[in-house]
Amino acid sequence: MTTAGTDAYRELETIFAQYYHLKRIDSILQWDTSVVMPAGSTNARAQQLAALQRCLQAVLADERVPALLDDATAALHRLSPWEQANVREMRTLYNRTVALPETLRSALSEASVRCEAAWREARKGQDFKTFAPHFSSVLALVREKADYLAGTSGCEPYEALLREYDSERTLAQCQTLFDTLQDALPPLLRRAQKRSQKTVSAPPAPALSLARQKKLCRIVLQDLGFDFETGRLDQSLHPFTEGGFEDIRITTAYDRRDACKGLLGAIHEFGHAAYDAGLPAKWHSQPVGRDRGMSLHEGMALLYEMAMARTPHFIDYLEKLFSSQGWPFDRMQYSHHLLHVEPGCIRIDADELSYPAHILLRYRMERALLDGSLAVADITDCWNGHMQDLLGLQPKTLAQGCLQDIHWPMGFFGYFPSYAFGAVYAANLYVNLEEEGVVGAARPTAPDFAALNAWLRRHVADHGAYYSEEALQERLGLNNVPRYLRYLETRYC
């Protein structure tokens, strides 16, 4: 490598390491905001996070970065394969970051913190009107952001937002997937519901005290492989994962009337944590060491929550766990609520077959909100109409309806399709695991969590962002939608 190329690349590593250290500080502050921050601290926190966004922008907006990237690119042939991939990812991150004015980025950060606080109060008080002005402010800034990103990338505004979460995602890919799901899922859903009705009448949800639920989730996470020396499990209004290298924070939301909700939430977030913990440690402060997009991230989470935890083998494991604690265990209750198809209003509580319908609803609505064809004042009625159309249900409360998710208050438009692609990826990963004998009939005993984790680490997490999204999808067959639909049919119909 030439001296100039060496110096440029090493200097870039230093700059991007600084960026990722600040990014993780931002992530921990986001966790604190949702878990332990006093309610009266919202304005101060909003200003803190906005200031941090300005710092993040300033790191990559350094006037030296474009020339350093050019010098490093000119010396690519002298860099190692991982360093070459790192330069590619550096340029992608740089282009995306500097496309937005610093003032817009910090304004959106500040507005989203206030909107999240308003969202929490609106859910409690069944009061959409007090939430609407805060959300309107966020939406206006998101539209401005989308226009900026679209202008620099030469695509439609919504597609520009999609690429915030999966850098190679296109609107055409989204539309193709949702068109396919819209046609294929309703008949599968009808067959699955008919099959469920032929078994037994629905038992009540398995109730469990809050103290026991917390202990249950902690034991399950330990058995799955979560490292509590470098991670935490807490309670929040909406499950999420924050943090990163050697400091991963996950949360779940408990319901005393239904132990499955908190448990599945914790397992879903473990999937995120396992992916983050398995990323290549050597590259933890570099773009190439990050995940390969949010569709794969959600795929990992849904693999654990939907494919692994909703199996008779996992229920066997739960039965032994409850017995070891001296707790009563009603196998029929847990089997029904984990294995049967029963559409409901809440996305995070949905079964695997009806889950994509929840994402289709949000995809339709956020596109309409972005292009202005749906007004903020009409969100509730629009939501309820789509829910009736897709699943034949009507939410009884705002928390069951349009205020159930935190994503839009946080300004995360374009994120929801990641769940739909993630569901496809999760199913294809699970079929791969079955074919290699890691899970399924080849293992007639309780799930071998260590073998499952090792396979996923070797085939997914170890690679970080070394491969392009398309290359990794091809290596693992992640985009095989017909195989995904066969998986659903075999499992539920």
Mean pLDDT for 204-216 is: 96
- Domain stops at, among 109, 125, 154: 154
Q: What is the pLDDT of residue 195?
A: 84
Do residues 123 and 180 both lie within one domain? no
Average pLDDT across the chain, whole number: 95
pLDDT digit string, tens, across residues 310-368: 999 999 999 999 999 999 999 999 998 999 899 999 999 999 999 999 999 999 999 99
DSSP letters for 45-104:
HHHHHHHHHHHHHHHHT-TTHHHHHHHHHHTGGGS-HHHHHHHHHHHHHHHHHHTS-HHH
pLDDT digits (tens, 9 = 90+) for 392-409: 999 999 999 999 999 999
Whether 228 and 361 map to the same domain: the answer is yes
Query: In angstroms, what CA-CA distances link 19 with 324, 373, 379?
Result: 46, 37, 37
In this structure, the answer to whether residues 351 and 405 fall within a common structural domain is: yes
| CB-CB neighbours of 307 under 10 Å | 26
Do 144 and 192 belong to one domain? Answer: no
Are residues 245 and 126 part of one domain?
A: no
- Which of 98, 123, 154 is the C-terminal boundary of a domain? 154
CATH of the domain at 461: 1.10.1370.30
* pTM check: above 0.85: yes
**pLDDT (average), residues 58-74:** 97
Residue 441's pLDDT is what?
Answer: 66
The whole-number pLDDT of residue 291 equals 98
Q: Are residues 219 and 248 in the same domain?
A: yes
Q: Quote the CA–CA distance of 380 and 337 in Å, as a whole number.
A: 28
Write out pLDDT tens, residues 33-46: 999 999 999 999 99
Per-residue model confidence (pLDDT) at position 1: 45
In the chain, how many domains are there?
A: 2
Q: Kindly state the tokens that stand for 276.
A: 């983050």
pLDDT band at residue 419 using 50, 70 and 90 as cut-offs: very high
Residue 163 within a domain:
no
Do 116 and 249 reside in the same domain of the chain? no
**pLDDT for residue 92:** 96
Domain end marker among 154, 185, 207: 154
- Both tokens of 157, joined, read 């505004």
Lowest mean pLDDT among 137-146, 212-221, 310-319: 310-319
Residue 262 belongs to a domain: yes
384 within some domain = yes
- Which residues lie closer than 8 Å to 51 by C-beta, 6 or more apart? 106
Report yes or no on 281 lying in a domain: yes
Both 150 and 85 in a single domain? yes
Whether 199 and 255 share a structural domain: yes
Residues 461 and 387 in one domain: yes
Residue 369 lies in a domain: yes
For residue 75, being part of any structural domain is answered with: yes
Distance CA 223, CA 218 (A): 9
Each residue's pLDDT tens digit, 229-265: 999 999 999 999 999 999 999 999 999 999 999 999 9
Residue 339 φ/ψ region, left for φ over 0, alpha for ψ in the -120 to 50 degree band, beta for the rest: alpha
Residues 208 and 107 in one domain: no
d(CA 354, CA 351): 6
300 neighbors 274 (Cβ within 8 angstroms): yes
In a domain, 376, yes or no: yes
Residues 93 and 215 reside in one and the same domain: no
Residue 161 counted as domain residue? no
Of 3-7, 101-105, 214-218, 486-490, least confident by mean pLDDT is: 3-7
In tens, the pLDDT along 281-324 reads 999 999 999 999 999 999 999 999 999 999 999 999 999 999 99
The residue range of the domain holding 136 is: 3-154
